[in-house]
Structure 1
Amino acid sequence: MLGIPVRKDISFYASQQIEEQWFEQTLDHFNPVDTRTWKQRFFINDTFHTKNGPIFLQLGGEGNADPIWVVEGQIAANYAKRFNAMSVLLEHRYYGKSWPTEYAFILALKNMSVENLQYLTSQQALQDAAYFIEYLTTKLALSDNKWVIFGGSYSGSLAAWFRAKYPHLVVGAIASSAPIEAVVNFKDYLSVVSDSLGQKCDDAIKEATHELSLELDHPVGWKSIEKQFKLCEPFNGSIVDDVYNLVSTLAGNIEGVVQYNKDNRDFEGAVATNITIDVICDVMTNTSIGAKALDRYMKVNDIILEAYNQKCVDFKYEKFVKQLQNTDWKSSAAAGGRQWTYQTCVEFGFFQSSDLKSQPFGPYFPVEFFIKQCADIFGPKYDQTLLEKSIQFTNNFYGGYALKVRKVLFPNGSIDPWHALGVTKDLNQYSKALLINGTAHCADMYPESQKDPKELTEARNHIINTLNDFLTAQ
């Protein structure tokens, strides 16, 4: 299905019945002299909750917190129903509508300037959740109820770290597709992409990249690239940053398909969920579509543009940087792009570079390209030295692969490139890995589907058993 999927009526209207709620949150938890506060958004579904039932808290991540998650998401529709739990979704600071800079009395904090983004850290977000639990426990008289914390992707990391840092507040955590080791150069991301594509498809993309490199060598080729890939502006292959940005964008088309392959995201309005690895690889390996692999690569680009209702490919690096420099809450960057880029530049890295030689996209977006973006967007002090120091702090603070934590389950999909930074082997007898063969990013968190593989159904049953262990342990 092309365009924005139409939600099932029952899901849409049910989510509309979930009240948007707000509470007074502290701006800077680590400066007791700073008494400024702001309004943080949350949602509650207590349909299945009984007096002594647990509280299932889902942490929001680097985007808008959609109330449909506490209606139809796996945590609400399956686990909460089984355990008579209350489902709660807490939006992450600086994302969605939870803007610490929105309120008039914080006169200096009216936008996403670098000065104001200093309060956007995972440590602040964890303390937000701790304060929220204490707030809701008091408000709803939940002192006798047990809490379990959930998250997926970045918020999955937060869930695991929360259990490690605040074990007195939650009895366990389900940390889905959670990267736990911060790295500047996440070159292994493309290793998993390559493996997930399969040898024949991977070889076809390598061939297309080689043919693209020949086109990049001369102005005649630049005109061909501009026309065939439907670029939004004239292409000059002598501008290195534009070349890097274009090739990484084309690679990103396939990376996204692999990361979300055959998931069930359409319940929340996701687009292009019908484009799978099979679809992409059927095109890339079908010589009847084009004798040259580059022609087939162009066809993949056409498919992606149509799916996202886009007329052309934005590739200009200067334009990209300018968009992310915009500090206005009404800008397109405020959907999460500027905020998450900032977090990667000061906490996590996670830069999905082309530095792995065996991957199929060529050497066109090295890690230095992403580090340069940090400096160009946020200022020259956001350089490699600052980034490496920040990464070291993050791993020292949380533990990285040496994370010491009990009662956390780490589901990961074998196709998901992020499992390369996740927990795929048991940390200990109390915190175990759950590698789900054939599934992608956060697949265990989405609503059930008749198309779900057996391994995914079994994984959800494993999660249910783990939740029972968390809730019944003394």
Structure 2
Amino acid sequence: MRYFILLVCLAFATRITFGKRLFSNGFIGAPSKFTLASQSQEPQLKWFQQILDHSNPTKYPKWKQRYYVSNEHYKTGGPIFLMIGGEGKETPKWMTSGAWIHYAAKFNALCFSLEHRFYGASQPTKNLSTENLQYLTSEQALADLANFVREMKVKYDLKDSQKWIAFGGSYPGSLAAWVREKYPELIHGSISSSGPLLAEVDFKEYFEVVQNSLASYSDACVIAVRRSFAQLEILLRHMIGQREINEKFQLCDPIEKSIENKLDISNLFENIAGNFAGVVQYNKDNSPHAGKTIDDVCDVMVNETLGTPVQRLAEVNRMLLKDSGEKCLDYKYDKMIVEMQNTTWDEDKAMRQWTYQTCNEFGFYQTSTQKDSLFTDRFPVDFFIRQCMDIFSEKMDSQYLKAVVGRTNTFYGALNPNTTNVLYVHGSIDPWHALGLITSSNPNTPTLYIEGTAHCANMYEPSANDLPSLVAARKKIQNYIENILSS
């Protein structure tokens, strides 16, 4: 089963979409898909006594928050690098590899990684009830980071003169920018990678970027995808076509039983469209969850020897099901909702938590409401708002979403952040750049736009196959860190 495509950079390895799009192990997953030589020192797993509600710090007992620390490259007096966790469990692999570790070696930094509240093993409450999830907010997460920095300075005898630099990708990329904005006395600077700054309920631009990215292969690929979805609509209209969909798309449940269920049909189309979105979002990233590429799926879509466009669409779906280890495509809406209503803790699952954050702060719903949609109009914004209402509360309707998203943009400044010492990094292929800061005339908010790269590409372990634009970008990031450390 998949939900709406997630921002994912540090994430899980379950094939789910979100604003479900392919997780892979923490938000950015592991830092490399390559086998790397281990370092001489393993990172230390630690636990930190954290406050539940920072607006009322003494009301509730503290809880244990997981973090990792590595002094592999540290020299006394060096800077402190902080990797911010996101919507998935933290992995110690990020303490020994990834671009930031190369920067740590360059600048002799002490490295910390803090797991986000309500994800992984950082479980503040007995369960994931909607009442308990009220403490799962970006504002509380930022206060966690601030409290963590203060305590680590004492625990490790770190001086005020030692500068803290925050790193994050995707949602943690947003947090990296915001923690500098809200706590400049603690965080000296940040590298914000692929972080959406603009909260938006109807994120229709997402699939517009997906379409443009497919067009980078060829216009023929886009035409074939458009025709395939049109043919899928035709097949749905009669019994023989419905049976063909069952077989070709390897559905877990026969579609003829759901023809009158608009939510099931919306979920089916959103999942199939999500195949292309997930591929585009992680296209050629040096990450374990970057599998098939735009070239791979477009090679199929333009190959007329494989049959009609809809048969080629089914082949793309088969390929991605196989890659993810799934036997069939699960599209039943009610089954998805029941799964999302489960309030028990599972360190390896996070869709309930992240979906709550989207319903309560961000929106980010990747809809089919854009003009002349490539993937039909089957999954409009109301489809996603309905999920918020069915999973959490009837009060989370369109007016509620409009209000909370407006509050988020007002609180953080959206695309007009009041920050200094933050570098905003995005890739041109990544659909999430549509909600990020990609150009700026303000010298206080510099940007770095990397042509030809996808989600969080600059964060992963460098490879000999990296595009020249990515190699140059990593060098610019290193220079930026050097400049703010000397400022």
TM-score, normalized by length of structure 1? 0.93
- Tell me the SS of whatever aligns to 1:379: coil
Counterpart-to-counterpart distance in 2, 1:240 and 1:184: 21
- Tell me the SS of whatever aligns to 1:100: coil
Match of 1:106 in 2: none
* 1:111-150 pair list within 5 angstroms: 111-143=127-159, 144-150=161-167
Counterpart-to-counterpart distance in 1, 2:109 and 2:282: 28
Listed one character per residue, the Cα deviations across residues 259-312 of structure 1 (whole Å, up to 9, x for unaligned) are 00000112xxx3xx331000000000110111x100100000110011111110
Decide which of 262, 265, 269 is 1:243's aligned counterpart: 265
Counterpart-to-counterpart distance in 1, 2:117 and 2:315: 40
Q: 1:196 to 1:7 in 2, by over 3 A?
A: closer
Listed one character per residue, the Cα deviations across residues 443-463 of structure 1 (whole Å, up to 9, x for unaligned) are 000000111000000000000
Decide which of 195, 198, 202 is 1:185's aligned counterpart: 202
Match of 1:254 in 2: 276
Cα deviation, residue 224, structure 1: 1.4
Bigger mean CA offset, 256-265 vs 378-387: 378-387
Decide which of 420, 433, 436 is 2:450's aligned counterpart: 436
Match of 2:120 in 1: 96
Aligned length: 453
Match of 1:264 in 2: 286
Match of 1:72 in 2: 97
Decide which of 366, 385, 388 is 2:402's aligned counterpart: 388
Counterpart-to-counterpart distance in 2, 1:178 and 1:213: 35
Match of 1:105 in 2: none
Give the residue type in structure 2 aligned to 1:139: K
Check conservation: 1:153, 1:442, Cα contact below 8 A.
yes
Counterpart-to-counterpart distance in 2, 1:158 and 1:68: 21
Check conservation: 2:226, 2:374, Cα contact below 8 A.
yes
Match of 2:27 in 1: none
Unaligned runs of 5+ in 1: 102-109
Give the residue type in structure 2 aligned to 1:469: N
Counterpart-to-counterpart distance in 2, 1:401 and 1:310: 39
Q: 1:223 to 1:293 in 2, by over 3 A?
A: same
Give the residue type in structure 1 aligned to 2:198: E
Match of 1:220 in 2: 240
CA RMSD of aligned residues (A): 1.8
Residue 425 (structure 2) pairs with residue 411 (structure 1): yes
Cα deviation, residue 325, structure 1: 0.4
Give the residue type in structure 2 aligned to 1:84: N
* 1:228-239 pair list within 5 angstroms: 228-235=248-255, 236-239=258-261
Q: Give structure 1 regions of 4+ aligned residues with deviation exceeding 3 angstroms.
A: 3-11, 13-16
Match of 1:171 in 2: 188
Counterpart-to-counterpart distance in 1, 2:177 and 2:375: 33
Counterpart-to-counterpart distance in 2, 1:359 and 1:52: 55
Check conservation: 2:33, 2:287, Cα contact below 8 A.
no
Q: 1:231 to 1:258 in 2, by over 3 A?
A: same
* 1:455-470 pair list within 5 angstroms: 455-470=469-484
Q: 1:86 to 1:391 in 2, by over 3 A?
A: same
Match of 1:301 in 2: 317
Cα deviation, residue 54, structure 1: 0.4
Match of 1:24 in 2: 49
Cα deviation, residue 52, structure 1: 1.1
Give the residue type in structure 1 aligned to 2:402: E
- Tell me the SS of whatever aligns to 1:126: helix
Residue 225 (structure 2) pairs with residue 205 (structure 1): yes
TM-score, normalized by length of structure 2? 0.90
Decide which of 347, 354, 364 is 2:361's aligned counterpart: 347
Match of 1:87 in 2: 111
Counterpart-to-counterpart distance in 1, 2:118 and 2:60: 18
Give the residue type in structure 1 aligned to 2:105: K
* 1:281-360 pair list within 5 angstroms: 281-290=298-307, 292-330=308-346, 335-360=349-374
Match of 1:195 in 2: 212
Q: 1:86 to 1:32 in 2, by over 3 A?
A: closer
Listed one character per residue, the Cα deviations across residues 403-432 of structure 1 (whole Å, up to 9, x for unaligned) are 111111011000000000001112621221
Check conservation: 2:47, 2:67, Cα contact below 8 A.
yes
Give the residue type in structure 1 aligned to 2:260: S
Give the residue type in structure 2 aligned to 1:466: Y
Cα deviation, residue 220, structure 1: 2.7
Give the residue type in structure 1 aligned to 2:328: C
Q: 1:415 to 1:378 in 2, by over 3 A?
A: same
- Tell me the SS of whatever aligns to 2:117: coil
Check conservation: 2:165, 2:190, Cα contact below 8 A.
yes
Counterpart-to-counterpart distance in 2, 1:14 and 1:114: 42
Residue 464 (structure 2) pairs with residue 450 (structure 1): yes
Q: 1:314 to 1:80 in 2, by over 3 A?
A: same
- Tell me the SS of whatever aligns to 1:401: coil
Match of 2:7 in 1: none
* 1:36-51 pair list within 5 angstroms: 36-51=61-76
Listed one character per residue, the Cα deviations across residues 180-213 of structure 1 (whole Å, up to 9, x for unaligned) are 0101000000111000001221111100000001
Check conservation: 2:120, 2:346, Cα contact below 8 A.
no
Counterpart-to-counterpart distance in 1, 2:143 and 2:341: 28
Counterpart-to-counterpart distance in 2, 1:141 and 1:289: 64
Q: 1:23 to 1:32 in 2, by over 3 A?
A: closer
Cα deviation, residue 330, structure 1: 3.4
- Tell me the SS of whatever aligns to 2:120: coil
Cα deviation, residue 164, structure 1: 0.7
Check conservation: 1:44, 1:89, Cα contact below 8 A.
yes
Cα deviation, residue 9, structure 1: 6.0
Listed one character per residue, the Cα deviations across residues 219-270 of structure 1 (whole Å, up to 9, x for unaligned) are 332221111100011212221111000110011111000000000112xxx3
Check conservation: 1:219, 1:237, Cα contact below 8 A.
no
Cα deviation, residue 360, structure 1: 1.1
Cα deviation, residue 64, structure 1: 1.0
Match of 1:104 in 2: none
Counterpart-to-counterpart distance in 1, 2:141 and 2:76: 29
Check conservation: 2:33, 2:286, Cα contact below 8 A.
no
Give the residue type in structure 2 aligned to 1:320: M
